[in-house]
Amino acid sequence: MSDGGTTEDAVPPSRRQPGALAAEVLTVLGASDSALTPAEVRDLLDPSGSLSYSTVVTTLTRLHDKKMATRVRDGRAFRYSAAAEPSALVAWRMRRLLDSDPDHASVLTRFVGSLNEKDERLLRDLLGKLD
């Protein structure tokens, strides 16, 4: 490469980052007023149909195994819902993002540095309660 960069860390444009599909699925489940079938989740995520049904089923099954989604049987299939309130889902996504970078100190430093005064004060209060 002429810019001296490497392609080892690059993700092909057609592939999602690890955990990205799970986060997208949780967002769809959390926004729905009712439980969704895997086909409904797939259609909401990718109306073009390029996302495979089996990929969505696998993702939903893993989220269910992690207690992030609940399911109820509906005929031969299941219907899925988000198992937690929206703030828990956001916290889970934040944790996944943090885990995607090995330099946690740098990520957290930048995150805290980007907070407004009110949120920084809230974070300090919450951390103080853990001591």
The model scores a pTM over 0.85:
no
pLDDT at residue 58, as a whole number:
96
Kindly tell me if the per-residue pLDDT of 7 is higher than 90: no
> Across residues 23-51, what is the average pLDDT?
93
pLDDT at residue 14, as a whole number:
62
pLDDT at residue 32, as a whole number:
94
pLDDT bracket for residue 9 (50, 70, 90): low
CA-CA distance, 68 to 74, in Å (whole number)? 19
**Type of residue found at 72:** V
Kindly tell me if the per-residue pLDDT of 125 is higher than 70: yes
Which residues does 71 contact at the CB level (< 8 Å), separation at least 6? 35, 60, 64, 78, 79, 80, 81
Q: What is the mean pLDDT of the chain?
A: 87
CA-CA distance, 34 to 24, in Å (whole number)? 17
> Across residues 90-115, what is the average pLDDT?
91
